[in-house]
Amino acid sequence: MSQNPLPAPRGDAQRGAADHHDRVSAMFDAIAGRYDLMNAVMTWGQEPRLVRHTVARANIPAQARVLDLATGTGDLAFEVLKQHPDAQVVGADIAAEMMEVGRARAGGDRIEWVVADATDLPFEADSFDAVTHGYLLRNVADIPATLAEQFRVLRPGGWVAALETSPAPDNVLKPFSSFYIHRVMPQLAKLMADRPEAYAYLSSSTKAFHTPDEVADLFADAGFVNIGHETHMFGTLATHWAMKPVD
């Protein structure tokens, strides 16, 4: 198992994009075997519902070609096939071992698994009808470049739908949601993961991440329209959606 240092939260100017890429890849490969279990625990069993909701927000048409970025073990990719059995699904991630776990799942041969960097996708322009991703933006070094690539590969009229963590909102529940993110999650990780520091990174990077409104602004800056979001779990998670304009 790799013992590379974990990636720093967003905003550390001393780490280049390539270094960030390698560190994130190593971290997720190291926790691949426990990733799905950890997500289930961290979301109090809500992960399947959140995944279903995110895929539904992608407005996937019949016989679509769908790209699932940061596909990991394939939760969203498999959900796309569940909701749209006639879809052609490509799952892309920088963490090859995560995708090997997904490939071994029942039905894994129905998905095309591709090792790819979300900031420099190896796909033609206007080649997908929809893009989905879960927990991608928090883990990339360049969010504008990542969204620009999604805009490029989407066909006009295509939608992107994303599930992301969010910093605790500034409301009456903030003390409780902050306590869960920064105290409960790392303790659960210590009990369940070989590298609990990976989930300490989750806590710190979630705190440093953009609010849902700020993410919406980033989608708008990339050229998307019809942008929206919905928060979950006391504001600590959010589903985002946006459309590439029709020419």
Contact 215, 240 (CB under 8 A): yes
Has 208 been labeled as part of a binding site? no
Q: Which two tokens stand for residue 119?
A: 């900031």
Give CA torsion, residues 53, 54, 59, 62, to 10 deg.
-90
Q: Which two tokens stand for residue 22?
A: 């390698």
Has 221 been labeled as part of a binding site? no
Has 117 been labeled as part of a binding site? yes
d(CA 69, CA 161): 11
If you search the block for the tokens 């590969």, which residue do you land on? Answer: 153
d(CA 197, CA 83): 35
Can you spell out the DSSP letters for 141-181?
S-HHHHHHHHHHHEEEEEEEEEEEE-PPPSSTTHHHHHHII
Has 118 been labeled as part of a binding site? yes
User: Which residues fall in the annotated binding site?
Assistant: 73, 93, 117-118
User: Which residues fall in the annotated binding site for S-adenosyl-L-methionine?
Assistant: 73, 93, 117-118
